[in-house]
Structure 1
């Protein structure tokens, strides 16, 4: 797996251009548009979870409603919001089972000016990361992103999906 001590530089200017001038990254991914591929972890028909294309932590995943939603308060009913949070919790539990992090950060980011589609970040902090490199520092692409091969991404997704399957079995009993 990718090494936290050797992140790749992030093209922040190119990234900002892409998210501000390009299509919605979640909708483009779901439509299968080239250049917007992600490794899918979960799909229940209303929500999806997938590995972050620009991870700053191993196993960093995103969870989003399939429907294009831009305002978490105004565009989701309380029932829809709670259903979304149940998926976030389920994905966070599976990622934690697969990776055994010291802590899991859960937050919703985005902007009406770019990455407007509501999505939650599930960011597992590995054990042993020095305090000064935790919290916001660990989430900021300005500090670099992890390099993964397609094979490593697939292996990681298999581990998370297996944990999801186990959670499903545990919840059914």
Structure 2
């Protein structure tokens, strides 16, 4: 059975996307916050069995949320966060 989905808060996402720095620019310039994003994404791939993670604006179609986003209970979210932290540690921690 596929996980339940809920509508994405497109207004909040749009505001963040328009006011925040460009991910590609910040990543390439070495901004530490954006390298953290990449390391977390790699750990998530390990946890959920994803084949790849799309982080760049050129791959925007993969981020489209017209069909909603996963609805997870707080316990599920906490358990996923713990698995991600474990994978980050197993990969050698955050390289900042």
Report TM bin, short chain.
0.5 to 0.7
Shift of 1:84: 4.1
What does residue 7 of structure 1 align with? 5
Long gaps (5+) in structure 1? 26-68, 109-134
CA distance in 2, matches of 1:107, 1:7: 24
Q: 1:162 aligns with which of 86, 89, 95?
A: 86
Computed over aligned residues only, the root mean square deviation of the Cα atoms, in angstroms, reads 3.7
Q: Which has the higher contact order (CA 8 A, sep 6+)?
A: 2
What does residue 54 of structure 1 align with? none
Q: Secondary structure at the match of 1:91?
A: helix
Shift of 1:70: 3.3
Q: Could you say which structure has the higher strand fraction?
A: 1
Residue-by-residue CA offset, 1:141-164 (whole Å, 9 max, x unaligned)? 221121100000001001000001
CA distance in 2, matches of 1:100, 1:163: 12
What does residue 29 of structure 2 align with? 78
CA distance in 2, matches of 1:11, 1:106: 18
CA distance in 1, matches of 2:30, 2:36: 13
Aligned residues: 89
Runs of at least 4 residues of structure 1 off by over 3 A? Answer: 69-73
Q: Could you say which structure has the higher helix fraction?
A: 2
Shift of 1:104: 1.4
CA distance in 2, matches of 1:157, 1:143: 24
What does residue 77 of structure 2 align with? 153
